[in-house]
Structure formats: C-alpha cells, structure tokens
Structure 1
C-alpha cells in the first residue's frame, strides 16, 4: 500500500558552512528575528538579538546597519515627542525611547556603536524581511522605519519597488563585504502575514521580498536564503500552527522552523549539545513535588555534574550558581 502523505515537505539544502558555539551571530529585522535570536540564545549561542527592535521593511534595515557602520547620527528631523512627553525616533522601534531628546540621542549613539563593534567581529548576520510596504515621512520626504502612532496624514504609504530594495540591500552587502569579507549572511522572509495590507497585497509584498532574496543569494556568494515563509505557508499549511490572531506562528510552528534552521546551518557538535541541553532544561525546570527530599538532592548533584561536563564550550556559570544555591538550601545531614 502506498504511504499516505499528509503534508508537503520542504527539502532545505544544508549549508556548506556551519554555525557553532564560537560563532558570533547578529539578527535584525521583523519580530521573527527576535524569535530566532531568542531561540539561538536559549541554546547558549553568542547572539546580538535584533538590537534596534522590530524593523519591518528592508530599506529601514539597510539604513540602520549603514548608519551604524559609518557611525553617523540618525536624521535630526525624525525625532518625535508624543503626547505622553516621550521622545522617539522614526527610524527606530518604540523600545528605544527617553524622557528627553538628548538622552535618546546618546542612547541611539550607544546602540549604533554596539552594533558597529559586533558586526566587525561577527560571523553570521541574519536579516528577516517583514514587508515591502514602507512609510514616507511627508515633512522630510524620507522613508522611515516606524510611525509611532503619529497621525496618518504625516506619512505616505508606499509599496517599495523590487529594484529599489535590491539597490539598497546591494549597497549594504558591498559595504559589509569590504569590512568583513568572511561574514555570512542569511536572508529570510518573515512567516508573519501582514493582514492589515489585505491578504492579496500581503502576497504581493512577500513575493517582492522573496524575489529580492533570490537575486541577492545568486549574486553574492556569502548570502544564503532560509525559507521560513515557505515552511509556514506550504509545509505547515494549517491554522493549528497559528496563534489565535491567525497571523503569527505559534510555539509549535516556531520550534519546527527553528529545528529546520538548525539542521541546515548548525554543526553536529552544536546540535548534539542542543539535544543534551533540552534534557538539562527539563531537569532545571523540575518542580519537586515533596520538597527537600533525598531524591531531589541526588537529582541536583546529577544536574551539577552534567552542567560541569557541558561547560567546556559554553558559559553555564549562571546555571551552576543556581544549582549550587539550591543544593545549599538543603539542611546539613
């Protein structure tokens, strides 16, 4: 009898180069960049995770990285004070804010220096593209990364042209190549659907981004594409893999996409560590039902030994401190 297949499987070709626990990784882009960065960080990889906060359109991503590489100050006319007297900047996410403009300027400058330093020493840059739609600030006639709930009449919404995005990202890639020739770049299109643009225009937007990624991966040998969007819409084609908003992937989908990413880009010793770490995490999160028992103390000693064995390649000092604290809680016998 022919085996019944209930899903369309996406065959992701493993990368010729691999990430390990010595690799320095930076993620930037849409909220999916946060998800991926957090997953890598949870497995003890060295990650600078979406340092500018959520950035959805590709030209905003390119602008922030370009400014950081040149250590140039953000556009002075794009600072904005909202009705709560909070200062924000239209090129940056609302998580970067202050009660006064000078302090915000210093905060953004510090963030740019952090990204500059990390990029010059990074091994992998992951860029997650969310949408090809962008907003142009009427007063300055420049494209921005965030409207910060300013009245809509101060912006013009645009669907970025394929060539417009391509030129912006090519400029960035050439600059990165001149600074760090061995930097690997992974492009991906976010699996989060932008339904506010309508489902029809969301597909136009995602298609534009996908074609940009394809062209760049063909032109630049250091660029590879990871199909997170395709995994979501083709392989996980079911609303059970979405959160209740029917837009964002749920934890099951996020984990599945990450496991596919890991199989493609992470080396075998690191994958072995990840499997071992899953078991350690279960032991760390174990909630003893009967308090400070002899069996619980034995489990903690076993856990401390396992952490000691794993600590050769990654920093587990925080976990070891916590285990020792729990052991010290037991009364002397």
Structure 2
C-alpha cells in the first residue's frame, strides 16, 4: 500500500554538469536551494540583488546581470503581487521601508508574468545562446493575502510557467517544487514553526529530487567524490595544532587538489 502521492518528475532535455555557472533568482526558496548548489561547488550566483518574489523583479535582476554568462538559470516564482511606485508608475523590487502610501499593490496577469520571463530569457541568451532555464514555483504560502488569495497567486504563476515552457521549447524546464511540497510532503512536520515555510528536511528532499532528475552522471559522480572532502574541511578539531589533525588536513588538501585536476572549474580556497 502507498500512503502518499508521489509526484512524477519528468527529466529535462538537458542535464546539469559539475561546477556549472548557475544563476538563481527568485523567492527565499531560491536562496535555500541555491545555497546548496554553492556548497556542492557549482559556480552559483544566488539572488545577487536580494530576494525577488515576482517575475518582473526576476527580470530586473537579469537586466542588472547583463554581460554575465551562465550555463543555467533557475527562476523561482513566489507571487504575482507587485508594488508600483505611484510617482513613477514603475514596479519596485524593494520598498526600502518607505511609507506604504507611496506605493500601490497590484497583481500581474498571466500574460505579464510570461512576457517578463520571456524578456529575461532573451537577455540571458545574448550572453549564452545555449543557456538552459529551470522554472519553479515557490511552495511558500503567503498568509498576508489570505490562504485563498495565496492559492490564486500561485495559480497565476503555475499557468504562466506552463505557458512559458510551451513557448520556449527544449532549453526550458519546469521543476515541480510546488507540487512536491504540497502534494508529496503534505505534512506539517516538513514545515518550519510558522507552518508556512518548508523546513530543512523538505529542502533536502527537493535537492535529492533535483539531483535524481536533472544532474548528469558526471555531476552525480562529482558529488560523491566531493562529499568526504567537504565533510573533512568542515571538521572543527579540539586541538588544531595536533600532529594527527595536521596530517588529516594535509591528506584532505591533497584529495582536493586531485579532484581539481579532474574538474578544472572547481573553485577551492584551501
């Protein structure tokens, strides 16, 4: 008997390779997943201008990164709600604690979301025509909209993501993070104390699904080789000056050096 619904995750037409250059832009969920990629030695840039919740703000980050080339970009969409500055009519990414009266809250349509993401992808392709794009919808619910309002917002994003994938073709892929958390991990033990944000266990599970479906065999092999070195470098001894620990560090650094010979793009600060 099966006591939970398993989300079927199709494989993309592309695969993530070791130490790829990856741009993560989006909600705080993008932060959580992006940090794991950094830990695993991908050359990842994670929300370089802060958390971006809506598709237009995602576009704004990509515009600021113009000229930077990435192998893959990951867009995590949090909401279709935006804040428009009354004085300029422009969507702002951060109200910077200015008075609420200076802004008007609006909701992006499906078409507006898709248009912003099309433009972001076009900009990325100027630097790398072969860039791959992964789109996800954040599973984090926004209680301030009411839970019904939050679901409506997610529905707009899900429809926008679906249209974007159909429009763009093979180099864009929808990863069902939203569905995994809300359908497969539908238990509050997978949430933080606020009962809104997925906890570290949920994030780790999504990471495992990403690895299983999106990573190449070479990338999986790299993770396996990097794991003991990462753990060794993170070890904090009681006596750093002890001969045994110094020998341990020397051996670890030699393993890291050999790994870098195999993967020249591996960035290490030893």
Q: TM-score, normalised by structure 1?
A: 0.73
Flag the 1:260–1:136 CA change in 2: closer, same or farther, 3 A: same
Q: CA deviation at 1:297?
A: 4.4
- Structure 2: distance between partners of 1:185 and 1:247: 27
Q: 249-258 or 281-290, which moves further after superposition?
A: 281-290
d(CA) in 2 for partners of 1:231, 1:269: 25
Partner of 2:32: 35
* Aligned pairs (5 A) from 1:1-333: 4-65=1-62, 68=63, 112=64, 115-118=65-68, 121-177=69-125, 180-221=128-169, 222-288=171-237, 295-312=244-261, 313=263, 314-315=265-266, 317-319=268-270
Measured against aligned partners, the alpha-carbon deviations of 1:65-102 in whole angstroms (never above 9, x if no partner) come to: 3xx3xxxxxxxxxxxxxxxxxxxxxxxxxxxxxxxxxx
Aligned residues: 267
Q: CA RMSD in A?
A: 2.2
Q: Higher Cα Rg: structure 1 or 2?
A: 1
Which protein, 1 or 2, shows the higher relative CO under an 8 Å CA cutoff with sep ≥ 6?
A: 2
Q: Tell me the CA shift for residue 22 of structure 1.
A: 4.9
Structure 2: state its 5+ residue gaps. none
Structure 1: segments with no counterpart, 5+ residues = 69-111, 320-333
Identify if the C-alpha distance between structure 1 residues 19 and 6 changes in structure 2 by more than 3 Å, giving closer, same or farther.
same
Alpha-carbon distance between aligned partners in 1 of 2:266 and 2:130, rounded to the nearest angstrom:
25
Secondary structure in structure 2 of the residue aligned to 1:186: strand
The CA deviation at 1:53 is 0.9
**Post-superposition shift, 1:143?**
2.1
Write the distance in 1 (CA, Å) between the matches of 2:127 and 2:236. Answer: 49
